[in-house]
Structure 1
Amino acid sequence: MVRSDAERLVRIGTEFLQEAGFEPRDDGLEARLRAQDSEWTATALEIGDETRSRRGFWRGLLTDELPFPLPRALQPSIPPTLVVVAARHAAKGVGELVVFPHVSRRGDAEYARAAGPRIRAALQGITAAAGAEGAMLSHESLGGVPDDGAPFSQEVVREVLGWH
């Protein structure tokens, strides 16, 4: 819960995630929400590469035995990860911001949570920025979200955004 409006919260969340390496998707999520007259405003960002995230047996065997780190170009990439940044009006001058990640089954399962440090860094930046303005009212971590039609729910991410 932050003292701000929903559009500004989504913009700030998006900026911090872009600084962490996430790229906005061109999926029309915000326009769909407006067309449905939703209370939410949202955007989706993603990071990762399905093919480069897979190590494979031989590649893993060779790289695990090297006495030096691989050059960055040869290191496994982050598996595909989608983050939805959504906000809605909660009270006069107060907005609710939700930043929720969705890991794809398409990448290497061993590294499925590899985007976690980037997401945590973005969340810390958002919290620090809101705290510096005296705008942060409360925050909590979500272990999961119900399929209630919110733009960050599994159902919307799967059915509307086509994320698997």
Structure 2
Amino acid sequence: MRSGSHPQGSGRDARTSRLQFDGPFRGARWVVRSDAPRLVRIATEFLQEQGFERRDDGRENDDRPQGQEWTSSALEIGDEKRSRRGFWQGLLSDDLPFPLPRALQHSIPPTLVIVAARRVANGVAELVVFPHISRRGDAEYARAAGPRIRAALDGITAAAGAEGAMVSHESLRGVPNDGAPFSQAVVRDVLGWR
């Protein structure tokens, strides 16, 4: 599957079923026998398969917090304005000849995912993938990208396991605000994510 080919749309056009359970909204951390740029590339590809698109602000691969060299990428999905549309507005405004199926799907509110990796030992790197919801968009469905994020995280874990390269893996409910590319301060102050 290529970027932009997700059955429920990609980027700003991404949708999800209004009835879909969104479950917990988490990131993950892996320690893998690989190098940081390769891990970022692979994780980014798994997210793109789920409909996420790279940010076009040119801030990739330039985060260097606290003397640690990180390689990172920022991806987004969803749209603020479309996510606030109600059922009837969606039914009346879609340009399809049969709008009902799309009307039953909700536009995903803006969601940012940061993929970051750094070398931790010779031939071993740490990879972190962490999502950030936005205050913009429909608050009721703010975590609607959760199933897509989980699918990407499961794909990354399976790929690392299949190669026999995974040293450790953990699920993350939160991350420290320590200046790493995925921390709230960097996401807010550097990337302007609100």
Q: TM-score range by the shorter chain?
A: 0.7 to 0.9
Selected match of 1:75 from 83, 86, 105: 105
Q: Distance in 1 between matches of 2:124 and 2:62?
A: 23
Cα separation, 1, equivalents of 2:108 and 2:87: 18
- Within 5 A, what are the aligned runs for 1:76-95? 76-95=106-125
Which amino acid in 2 is paired with 1:8?
Answer: R
Cα distance in 2 for residues equivalent to 1:73 and 1:9: 37
RMSD: 2.3
User: Per-residue deviation at 1:54?
Assistant: 1.0
Q: Whose strand proportion is higher, 1 or 2?
A: 2
What is the number of residues matched between the two proteins?
157
- How far did residue 38 of structure 1 move? 4.5
Q: Tell me the distance in 1 between the aligned counterparts of 2:128 and 2:61.
A: 18
Matches within 5 A, 1:66-145: 70-72=100-102, 75-145=105-175
Instruction: After TM superposition, give the deviation of residue 150 of structure 1 in Å.
Output: 0.2
User: Residue 28 of structure 2 corresponds to which residue in structure 1?
Assistant: none
Hey, what's the Cα distance between the residues in 2 that align with 1:31 and 1:88?
A: 11
* Contact 1:12–1:126 (Cα < 8 Å) also in 2: yes
Alpha-carbon distance in structure 1 between the residues aligned to 2:108 and 2:71? 27
Distance in 1, Cα, partners of 2:103 & 2:37 = 37
Runs (5+) with no aligned partner, structure 1: 61-68
Partner SS state of residue 100, structure 2: coil
Contact kept in structure 2, 1:54 and 1:76, CA below 8 Å: no
- CA–CA distance in 2 between the matches of 1:57 and 1:71? 11
CA distance in 1, matches of 2:143, 2:116: 21
Q: How big is the shift at 1:103?
A: 0.2
Q: Provide TM-score, normalisation by structure 2.
A: 0.74
Moved over 3 A (4+): 55-60
In the alignment, residue 109 of structure 2 is paired with which amino acid?
Answer: P
What's the secondary structure of 2:116's corresponding residue?
A: strand
The 3-state SS of whatever aligns with 1:83 is strand
Gaps (5+ residues) in structure 2? 1-30, 91-98
Aligned counterparts of 1:30 and 1:38: Cα–Cα separation in 2 = 16
Could you say which residue in structure 1 is the equivalent of 2:8? none
2:41 is aligned, of 2, 6, 11, to 11
